[in-house]
């Protein structure tokens, strides 16, 4: 920043300088505290004024910092309190002093984040409400890069933020400063009470592949990453983790060897190099192959195989039978990415959510061979929606869940529940799919039966639900939950965040036979509390 003010040419009132809006505006709220950090190098004395534009006269306390003439960088930090609110503020750094200033790693962060770990509480809570059992990170193609020179390298993402070089995400065309790095991902998963699934680069980009004979550095990098996560504080990389403030090892049990790389000629050779090395060092580690074994058995060892599907709504509805004939003697499936996309999805439609619910019921019915499942990308900033749909949409201060998000929430109890034997008898429609599960709702220790029905058709359906194994006098308390809307392409938005969300009604003293009305284009859940 070159400032040419002088006694003969004084700066305007307020000074001159630079401005940055952050990611499409900084959410600054009255009464909250914000930490401003920047690094500066200059000569002599200077006075920087920090302020936010778009907010009524927020003065951020001037910092007068003396920089010696040795040309070294100095870290400047201050905590300020906002006296007004603006959701789309820009940070300004100004001065009235003539001089040349080098600025780098400028950051504004609210102090009020989840457990002080840097995550917005509202976004964190939306994920926590899904009660995730695992988180797959740091992504799919993000791990590879369009070219290997830009692939994700975990060692560059740890340590002091200002020392992380960052990298260009050439798949999605943006620069990442890697402020959320390997350690932050592990910390996030731990905060959620979930298990981490680390996806590492197996020697591939979208346009390149490393020959298996030259793979040793990649294998060692993966072993180092596992040691960083779960090694003792006395180990080489476990000690690095400990010095960064987390002496306790993370509970890393799963790794994915690459992402969507099975098509490459070197994948099997590369995969086996990783598999053998990791099994020797960590015999308990569960390893995930990129190759789909839902129809054909794998020709290499694996603990799980990865299955991805993005398609239209009709096709995904039909894919509820995808795993009906999968071999029960091979590795189990990890459905790590799935969604309805493109025209049927809109910006996150009811139609997409219905097909996804049907697909999930199919996975539920095949839970003896489908071990884990996770939706397509979790978050999307509405200002940069390069991939649609996503479960949670946000901007600087607000958020909403798409209908697909609410379907995920409806299926929470399926994890760890008992699949019950059930039959759907209907001659009127091939647009219905249903399942039944039972589970105990701790800490109340009450037993529930949940019947889920997806109606993918335009007609109202009448079903008769009969339960067996109970006496004729058995009564239930029933809760009916429905996700539907007046138009199958309806979506949620910032202005209407609850347009398509679950709606519930309840009844008591319901008998064993229930006459159930299922709305057109709906997901309906009947929860029966067994007295």
Annotated active-site positions, please? Answer: 260
In angstroms and rounded to an integer, the radius of gyration of the C-alpha atoms of the chain is: 27
Q: Which two tokens stand for residue 68?
A: 């010696």
d(CA 334, CA 352): 21
**Cis before 138 (ω within 30):** yes
CA-to-CA separations, 516 to 416, 428, 458, 477, 478, in angstroms, rounded: 26, 15, 17, 14, 11
Q: For helices 267-281 and 216-230, give the axis angle rounded to 10 degrees.
A: 40
Q: What is the DSSP letter of 390?
A: -
CB 526 within 8 A of CB 516: yes
Which residues face 333 on adjacent strands?
305, 370
d(CA 383, CA 406): 22
**Cis before 358 (ω within 30):** no
CB 85 within 8 A of CB 155: no
d(CA 139, CA 131): 20
Residue 273 has phi, psi (to 5 degrees) of: -60, -45
Which ranges constitute the DSSP H helices of 72-165? 121-128, 141-144
CA-to-CA separations, 261 to 140, 213, 266, 289, 332, in angstroms, rounded: 10, 17, 9, 9, 18
Which of 92, 128, 209, 172 shows the shortest CA–CA distance to 381? Answer: 172
CB 399 within 8 A of CB 356: no
Instruction: Specify burial of residue 326 (Cβ count, 10 A radius: 0-12, 13-18, 19+).
Output: buried
What lies within 8 Å, CB to CB, of 97 at 6+ separation is 3, 5, 45, 46, 47
Q: Which two tokens stand for residue 220?
A: 């060692």
């Amino acid at each position: 920043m070159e400032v040419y003010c002088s006694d003969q040419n004084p700066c305007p009132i307020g000074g001159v300088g630079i401005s940055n809006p952050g990611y499409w505006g900084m959410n600054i709220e009255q009464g909250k505290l914000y930490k401003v950090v920047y690094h500066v190098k200059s000569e002599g004395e200077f006075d920087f004024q920090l302020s936010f534009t778009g907010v009524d006269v927020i003065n951020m306390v001037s910092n007068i910092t003396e920089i010696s003439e040795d040309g070294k960088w100095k870290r400047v930090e201050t905590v300020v309190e906002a006296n007004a609110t603006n959701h789309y503020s820009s940070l300004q750094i100004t001065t009235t002093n003539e001089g040349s200033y080098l600025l780098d790693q400028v950051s504004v962060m609210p102090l009020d984040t989840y457990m002080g770990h840097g995550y917005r509480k509202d976004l964190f809570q939306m994920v926590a409400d899904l009660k995730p059992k695992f988180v797959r990170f740091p992504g799919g193609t993000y791990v590879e890069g369009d070219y290997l020179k830009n692939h994700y390298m975990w060692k560059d993402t740890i340590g002091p933020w200002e020392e992380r070089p960052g990298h260009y995400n050439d798949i999605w065309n943006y620069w990442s400063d890697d402020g959320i790095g390997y350690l932050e991902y592990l910390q996030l998963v731990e905060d959620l009470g979930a298990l981490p699934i680390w996806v590492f680069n197996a020697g591939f980009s979208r346009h390149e592949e490393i020959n298996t004979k030259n793979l040793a550095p990649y294998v060692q990098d993966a072993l180092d990453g596992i040691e960083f996560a779960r090694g003792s504080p006395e180990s080489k990389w476990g000690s690095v983790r400990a010095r960064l403030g987390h002496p306790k090892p993370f509970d890393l049990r799963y790794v994915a060897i690459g992402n969507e790389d099975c098509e490459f000629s070197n994948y099997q050779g590369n995969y086996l190099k990783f598999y053998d090395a990791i099994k020797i060092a960590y015999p308990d580690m569960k390893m995930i192959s990129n190759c789909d074994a839902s129809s054909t058995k794998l020709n290499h060892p694996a603990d799980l195989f990865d299955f991805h599907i993005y398609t239209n709504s009709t096709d995904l509805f039909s894919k509820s039978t995808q795993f009906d004939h999968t071999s029960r003697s091979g590795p189990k499936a990890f459905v790590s990415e799935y969604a309805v996309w493109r025209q049927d999805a809109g910006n996150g439609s009811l139609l997409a959510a219905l097909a996804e619910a049907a697909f999930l019921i199919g996975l539920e019915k095949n839970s003896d061979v489908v071990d884990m499942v996770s939706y397509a990308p979790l978050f999307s900033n509405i200002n940069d929606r390069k991939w649609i749909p996503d479960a949670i949409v946000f901007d600087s201060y607000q958020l909403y869940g798409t209908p697909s998000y609410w379907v995920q929430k409806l299926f929470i109890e399926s994890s760890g529940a008992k699949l019950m034997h059930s039959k759907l008898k209907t001659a009127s429609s091939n647009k219905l799919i249903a399942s039944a599960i039972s589970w105990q709702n701790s800490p109340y220790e009450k037993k529930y039966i949940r019947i889920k029905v997806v109606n993918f058709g335009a007609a109202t359906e009448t079903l008769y639900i009969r339960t067996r194994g109970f006496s004729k006098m058995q009564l239930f308390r029933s809760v009916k939950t429905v996700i539907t809307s007046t138009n199958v392409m309806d979506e949620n938005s910032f202005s209407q965040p609850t347009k398509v969300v679950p709606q519930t009604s309840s009844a008591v003293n319901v008998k064993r036979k229930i006459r159930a009305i299922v709305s057109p284009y709906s997901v309906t859940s009947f929860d029966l509390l067994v007295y």
